[in-house]
Amino acid sequence: MCYKAWSAFSADPDYCKKLPKKVTTGLLYKGHNKSAIPLVSLSQDDGEIDGILSDMPQYEHLEFLDCCNGLVLCKYRSSYTSPGICRFVVCNPATREWRILPDTHAGTDSRRDATILAFDPSWSPHFYVFNFNQHYHSPMSKLEIFSSDGSMWLVDDKWDSYVSVCWRSHIFLDGVLYAETTGQDVLVFGALGSMSNGKLPYHQIIEKPSDTFYVGTFTHGCFGKSLGNLHYAMPDVSGHSIVIWTLDEYAHDPGTWYVKCHISMTDAFGRDDFVYYDNGGDGGDSHWFWNCDYWILALDLERDK
């Protein structure tokens, strides 16, 4: 019913007059040792759109980090940038507007940073940037969070260094950020509106679906949303299908997941031989290391196919 209502609304002639005549869609990428970030069109009607970020200030080194609901987050530096300074810029390719964030202090180079952009215009006009400074071989760790509302970074110097965030899998849903860790957990941030009062948002940790624990040791899953609910996808141990879980918000345990569906690799690709194992050497377990020939990059359960 929600899908039909949205289709009727978006097809209304009066509303369509207010929409852009052409919405640019494509894939952002960065070439090796190049600062420019071109956009490859996914439609032949888009024409030449390689310069979609051309209005952003030019830097000697521009690194694409993340995107969320139409905004793009980049990290930049020049020959004049101090090694201890970290600089970010957020760009809106549709309006060709950009915003430079205040400098942060990166510290040493012996770290594995994860930087996440959170933005949902249906929830708030403001965006948030989470910068996890995760140091190697050291209990020191730091979390910096930027709010476009207050135009300031809030710093949590007591961040748990054992919570290591994987930037590749996260989602921002109804004002809540869900980020997968390198372990078996999901890091959840809420109450981001409190940052306007100088307060750090609350966070909690929930477990990923228990059936993903073995496979999750070797690969990362993918978050998605459907009908306002959070979903998580991961290949099953056999590789014959992708399993989709839904987070049950009404369960007594806040981290309760249930299986919603399976996506058959045979139906999707005509084969299901994507998983193989490495053995543990002489006398080792023949199923010592799990390998898969694909990653799940996006999840859309509301399409017809």
Do 123 and 187 share a domain, yes or no?
yes
Do 64 and 39 share a domain, yes or no?
yes
- Quick one: DSSP state of residue 278? E
Name the domain boundary from 187, 207, 227: 207
Name the domain boundary from 103, 130, 163: 103
Q: Is 273 part of any domain?
A: yes
* Residue of 65, 93, 63 lying closest to 77 (CA atoms): 63
Q: Are 21 and 46 in contact (CB under 8 A)?
A: no
| pLDDT value, residue 44 | 56
Name the domain boundary from 207, 232, 247: 207
- Quick one: DSSP state of residue 301? S
Q: Is 84 part of any domain?
A: yes
Tokens for 11?
């097809």
Q: What are phi and psi for residue 186, nearest 5 degrees?
A: -120, 125
- What's the domain range around 162? 108-207
Q: Is 9 part of any domain?
A: no
Q: Is 164 part of any domain?
A: yes
| pLDDT value, residue 128 | 96
Q: Which residues does residue 79 pair with via DSSP β-bridges, in sequence order?
A: none
Do 90 and 113 share a domain, yes or no?
no
Q: Which residues are within 8 A (CB) of 283 and not within 5 positions of it... i.e. 6 or more apart?
A: none
Do 165 and 192 share a domain, yes or no?
yes
Q: Is 10 part of any domain?
A: no
Distance of alpha carbon 114 from alpha carbon 130, whole angstroms = 8
> 11-18 long-range CB contacts below 8 Å, 24 or more apart?
none
Q: Which residues are within 8 A (CB) of 141 and not within 5 positions of it... i.e. 6 or more apart?
A: 132, 133, 134, 135, 159, 160, 161
Q: Is 301 part of any domain?
A: yes
Do 264 and 303 share a domain, yes or no?
yes
Distance of alpha carbon 45 from alpha carbon 267, whole angstroms = 31
Report the domain count for the chain. Answer: 3
Q: Is the pTM of this model over 0.85?
A: no
Q: Is 168 part of any domain?
A: yes
Q: What is the pLDDT along the chain (305 residues), one digit of tens a residue?
A: 344 554 555 556 665 555 544 445 566 666 666 555 656 555 555 554 445 555 555 666 778 889 898 898 988 876 676 766 778 999 887 777 889 899 887 654 545 678 999 999 989 999 999 988 766 555 557 889 999 998 889 998 777 766 777 767 899 999 999 998 877 889 999 999 888 888 899 898 899 998 888 888 888 889 998 888 899 999 988 888 999 999 987 666 767 899 999 999 998 888 888 888 776 555 556 667 788 888 888 887 776 55
Q: Is 7 part of any domain?
A: no
Do 145 and 97 share a domain, yes or no?
no
Do 86 and 123 share a domain, yes or no?
no
* Residue of 207, 217, 246, 114 lying closest to 168 (CA atoms): 114
Do 22 and 79 share a domain, yes or no?
yes
